[in-house]
Amino acid sequence: MGAALRSWLFTTDHKRVGILYLIGSLAAFAIAGIMAMLMRIELTAIGPDLTDNPQQYNVWLYFHGAAMILGFQIPALTGFLANYCVPLMIGARDVAFPRLNALSVWLFWAGILLALATFVIPDPPDVMWTGYPPYATRTWGNTAFYSFTVLLLGFSSILGGVNFLTTVFYMRAPGMGWNKLNIFVWSIVVAFIIQLIFVPVLGTAVTMLLFDKYLGTTFFDPANGGDVLIYQNLFWFYSHPAVYVILLPFLGITYEIVATFARNRVFNYKMVVYGGFGGVLLLAGEVWVHHLYTAGLPDWLRVGQMVTTLLISVPVGLLMIGLVGTLYRGSIEYRTPMLYALGVIFFFLIGGLTGIPNAIASLDLHLQDTYFIPGHFHYVMAVAGTFAIFGAVYYLFPKMTGRMYHESTGKLGFWLTFIGMNLVFMPMMMAGIEGMPRRYYDYAQFPQVEGLQQLMTFGAFVILAGSLVTLWNWVQGALRGAPAPANPWGSRSLEWTAAPSPPPPGNFPQPPRLGPEWSPYAYGERA
Partner 1 sequence: MHESLRRLAPVLLLPAPAAALAGGEGIPDPAAGWDRLWDEMLVDITLIGVVFAAVTAWFMWRFRRRHPDEEGCPPRLGTGAAVGWAVVPAFVFMADDFFLAAKGWELWQQYRTVPEGALEVRLDSAMWSWTYTYPNGAVTVNELRVPAGRPVLLRMTSRDVVHSHFIPDFRVKEDSMPGRITYLWFYPKRPGEHVVACAEYCGLLHSRMAGKVIVMEPEAFAAWYRAAGRRADAAARDEGEV
Interface positions, 304-363, toward partner 1 (CB under 8 A): 306-307, 310-311, 313-314, 317-318, 320-321, 324-325, 327-334, 342, 345-346, 349-350, 353-354, 356-357, 360-363
Q: Which is nearer to partner 1, 95 or 306 (CB)?
A: 306
Q: How far is the CB of 424 from partner 1 (least distance, A)?
A: 19
Restricting to residues 363-382, name those near partner 1 by CB under 8 A: 363, 365-366, 368-370
Whole-angstrom distance, CA of residue 497 vs CA of residue 393: 19
Q: How many other CB atoms sit within 10 Å of the CB of residue 500?
A: 15
Closest alpha carbon to 168 in 193, 190, 191, 185: 185
Which of 208, 245, 262, 396: binder of partner 1 (CB under 8 A)? 262
Restricting to residues 129-188, name those near partner 1 by CB under 8 A: 132-135, 138-139
Restricting to residues 425-464, name those near partner 1 by CB under 8 A: 434-435, 437-446
Region from 202-210, 291-299, 381-389, 402-410 binding partner 1, contact rule CB under 8 A = 291-299
Cβ(407)–Cβ(476) below 8 Å? no
Quote the distance between the C-alpha of residue 343 and its chain's center: 15
Q: How far is the CB of 518 from partner 1 (least distance, A)?
A: 16
Q: Which is nearer to partner 1, 12 or 308 (CB)?
A: 308
Q: How long a stretch of residues is the chain?
A: 527
Q: Which residues pair with 370 in a beta bridge?
A: 437
Q: Is 125 in the site for partner 1 (CB under 8 A)?
A: no
Q: How far is the CB of 243 from partner 1 (least distance, A)?
A: 18
Q: How far is the CB of 524 from partner 1 (least distance, A)?
A: 4
Whole-angstrom distance, CA of residue 423 vs CA of residue 282: 35
Cβ(147)–Cβ(206) below 8 Å? yes
Q: Which is nearer to partner 1, 160 or 315 (CB)?
A: 315
Q: How far is the CB of 451 from partner 1 (least distance, A)?
A: 17
Restricting to residues 57-86, name those near partner 1 by CB under 8 A: 58
Q: Which is nearer to partner 1, 34 or 228 (CB)?
A: 228
Restricting to residues 181-220, name those near partner 1 by CB under 8 A: none
Which of 23, 121, 123, 270: binder of partner 1 (CB under 8 A)? 270
Whole-angstrom distance, CA of residue 445 vs CA of residue 358: 24
Q: Which is nearer to partner 1, 285 or 317 (CB)?
A: 317
Q: How far is the CB of 198 from partner 1 (least distance, A)?
A: 23
DSSP 3-state assignment of 345?
helix
Peptide bond preceding 134 in cis form (omega within 30 of 0): yes
Closest alpha carbon to 517 in 509, 508, 526: 526
In angstroms, what CA-CA distances link 159 with 15, 21, 58, 249, 331? 17, 14, 32, 18, 40
Whole-angstrom distance, CA of residue 220 vs CA of residue 182: 44
Q: How far is the CB of 490 from partner 1 (least distance, A)?
A: 8
Q: Is 128 in the site for partner 1 (CB under 8 A)?
A: yes
Cβ(393)–Cβ(80) below 8 Å? no
Q: Is 120 in the site for partner 1 (CB under 8 A)?
A: no
Provide the mask over 227-246, with x wherever binding to partner 1 is found by CB under 8 A and - wherever it is not: xxx-----------------
Which of 222, 451, 483, 511: binder of partner 1 (CB under 8 A)? 222
Give the type of residue at 499: A
Burial 143-164 (b: 16+ CB within 10 A, else e): bbbbbbbbbbbbbbbbbbbbbb
Q: How far is the CB of 61 from partner 1 (least distance, A)?
A: 9
Whole-angstrom distance, CA of residue 293 vs CA of residue 275: 28
Q: Which is nearer to partner 1, 17 or 456 (CB)?
A: 456
In angstroms, what CA-CA distances link 263 with 79, 341, 523? 27, 14, 6
Q: How far is the CB of 440 from partner 1 (least distance, A)?
A: 4
Cβ(495)–Cβ(89) below 8 Å? yes
The residue count for binding partner 1 (CB under 8 A) is 86
Which of 271, 281, 460, 462: binder of partner 1 (CB under 8 A)? 271
Backbone angles phi, psi at 510, to 5 degrees: -120, 140
Q: How far is the CB of 57 from partner 1 (least distance, A)?
A: 9
List the end-to-end C-alpha distance of the chain, in Å, as a whole number. Answer: 52
Which of 240, 265, 290, 406: binder of partner 1 (CB under 8 A)? 265
Closest alpha carbon to 266 in 287, 251, 278, 285: 251
Q: How far is the CB of 429 from partner 1 (least distance, A)?
A: 12
